[in-house]
Structure 1
Amino acid sequence: MSHIDKEKQKLIARIKRIRGQVDSIERSLTGGDDCADILMLLANVRGGINSLMAEVLEDHIRLHLLTPESKTTNPHELAEDMIELVRAYLK
């Protein structure tokens, strides 16, 4: 259980970092900062979100698709679940 809590804390820290980056974008927009600087901030947020999504997706695969319980599940259902997750990730 502590392993899961440790992973959850890492995800929460990542979210807080992203929130700080979004706040920085808002300050830059209201402060009239240069467009190139704002675009760089936006790219940083996008990278943070993509990294967070990849981590959660990886955890989902490990915790729900590669467990002994998942072996009793229909492989077709597991494949469909994975396809749905990847499609949502790539949108």
Structure 2
Amino acid sequence: MTHTVREKQKLINRVRRIRGQMEGVERMLEEEKGCAEVMQVIAGVRGAVNGLMAEVIEDHILMHVAAAELSQEERDEGAAELIDVLRAYLK
């Protein structure tokens, strides 16, 4: 993902926030917090991960599928990679 260098810090910050949320879930489980409260935080984590994935997908499309300087073969390869990842993600 060399093309993400320009957005590297932004992505790292998102990952760190997600890690913090997951640590919060762990603490809640250790403290035996209520199911509804734990599920609410887990839903927030899921949303954050989905946002991260959307950011990386957008970058992939711009750099490996829609870039005008790419050959058709390179675009096809980029599209195939994206399709494979989405299929795995949506399972």
Fold shared per TM-score above 0.5: yes
Length-normalised TM-score, structure 2 = 0.80
Residue 87 of structure 1 and its aligned partner are, at CA, apart by 1.4
Task: Name the count of aligned residue pairs.
Answer: 89
CA distance in 1, matches of 2:10, 2:75: 31
Spell out, residue by residue over 1:61-91, the C-alpha distance to the aligned partner (whole angstroms, 9 max, x if none). Answer: 1111222442242665454333223313323
The CA RMSD over aligned residues, in Å, is 2.3
Residue 32 of structure 1 and its aligned partner are, at CA, apart by 1.0
Spell out, residue by residue over 1:41-60, the C-alpha distance to the aligned partner (whole angstroms, 9 max, x if none). Answer: 11011111111011101101
Alignment match, 2:52:
52
Q: Which has the higher contact order (CA 8 A, sep 6+)?
A: 1
Code of the aligned partner of 1:11: L
Equivalent pair of 1:57/1:85 in contact (CA under 8 Å): no
CA distance in 2, matches of 1:60, 1:5: 13
Alignment match, 1:16:
16
CA distance in 2, matches of 1:21, 1:58: 24
CA distance in 2, matches of 1:64, 1:75: 6
CA distance in 2, matches of 1:11, 1:76: 26
Equivalent pair of 1:53/1:89 in contact (CA under 8 Å): no
Equivalent pair of 1:29/1:38 in contact (CA under 8 Å): yes
Secondary structure in 1 matching 2:71: helix
